[in-house]
Chain A
């Protein structure tokens, strides 16, 4: 409170510009204080810390950066990325199936009280349950192959899109709903033209969270039964082939970041109005 008062006063004061004061910071100054300068500082610091740790602790604990870079190349030569690609394929199938199930269910739960009453207890219970604890059961039901891995990914990815979609539909501006009713909008168009776009910021957030959970899910599923990429990680870890281990982990992280960026770009494409603020007014 006091702080904002002071700031308001400071805004009112008109200062005579000092002759020596350059109104624009130099290009370097702008870079350092900007987004990329800060990123360089933080990530650069982490890279240095990694390298120093690796050099101090030795190869038994962590590979150095050059070793990891070589590891990324070796993993390619060994065909590990084909294994990773296969895992990703299954992850994507699971992720998409999760969305196909989750978004309509969430929309119905957000829209209709009876659906909420019916499904919310299950969704909420499973959401807070450790999904890992269900893995033995999944192995019994689905075995250890495609069906198992896909269903574990579904289990992991399912809940955020359901809950977010339900919340988004519930928070749709009731004024817009009333407007659509005044213009005699049919049930289906009400859903398509009002509820879906109105809830879309929540739905997209849910999809992105679900994607993160899919990555988590496929790795855990595969580590649990020691297969696919999970097997590579377990073996590389226990045999202390840490350059390969780090290489695979890094590539998985990079894929996670990459797919997340793709989703963000898709959102910008689908919702161009989302970035419009009052500053864009004519």
Chain B
């Protein structure tokens, strides 16, 4: 089972000593169950904030998020979160990190171990169970982060620039692996990135956001059939769409009315 995500009239601002910073402005977005959606936008447009609001880590100033039939009021393990900086617990082994969410769910020790091992296999990390995060490269750490999020078997996967801090080759490999895993069960995914190619390669729909305060400028359906493989990146239609998204992003900064 997988769940829909509905965002209604979402508005967010942060109070600071320098005054109020308006981050998100009237966001409306509905994602059907099983949709892979990417959110692209310039730095500081509030896309990560939006993801945290969907997870329930931050409460919005106004508006609501509904996952399935439930209004989000706080974090829940029907949503899995993958962080940009991996955020693995340095004092736990790879296996221990993947088990962390399962412990919170109260899963019995043996089943926990089996499930964690199964997801480590899925992200190609078999044999690294007893390593500590500091012993792994960035790419491998993020595989652990992915396995940790998937192990709780969430209905919705929230990913915050998960491949933003790994090198190019690793990023492309991870994108393909993510798609392979996703194609098994088509969970709803909200994927925040500033990499247009990544967004197009992975998603069914790309949401383009304006600079702060973030608004949705446009939603672009990505027509390419699945399963998608690396060759798609060289497709002329792919390049054309890349150009379209880029133009939207660029103009998003120019045509926006200037605010004080």
Contact = CB atoms under 8 A, between A and B. Distances in A.
A175 B85 contact: yes
B89 A194 contact: yes
B151 to A, nearest CB: 10
Of A179, A181, A186, A194, most B-chain CB atoms within 10 Å:
A179
Interface residues of B, number: 29
B81 interface: yes
B76 A184 contact: yes
A282 B87 contact: no
B224 interface: no
Contact of A181 (B57, B103, B134): B57
Interface string A244-282: 000000000000000000000000000111001110111
A278 B134 contact: yes
Interface string A222-260: 000000000000000000000000000000000000000
A282 B135 contact: yes
Contacts of B238: none
Given A175-B83, A281-B135, A183 B104 contact: yes
Interface in B120-151: 128, 131-137, 140, 148
Contacts of A273: 90-91, 132-134
Given A276-B134, A280-B134, A282-B135, A183 B91 contact: no
A176 B140 CA distance: 18
Interface in A170-224: 175-176, 178-186, 189, 193-194, 197-198, 200
Given A184-B75, A281-B137, A189 B57 contact: no
Contact of A276 (B55, B76, B135): B135
Interface of B: 55, 57, 75-77, 79, 81, 83, 85, 87, 89-91, 100-101, 103-105, 128, 131-137, 140, 148, 152
13 contacts: A175-B87, A176-B87, A179-B81, A181-B57, A182-B81, A184-B104, A185-B104, A200-B91, A276-B132, A276-B135, A281-B135, A281-B137, A282-B135
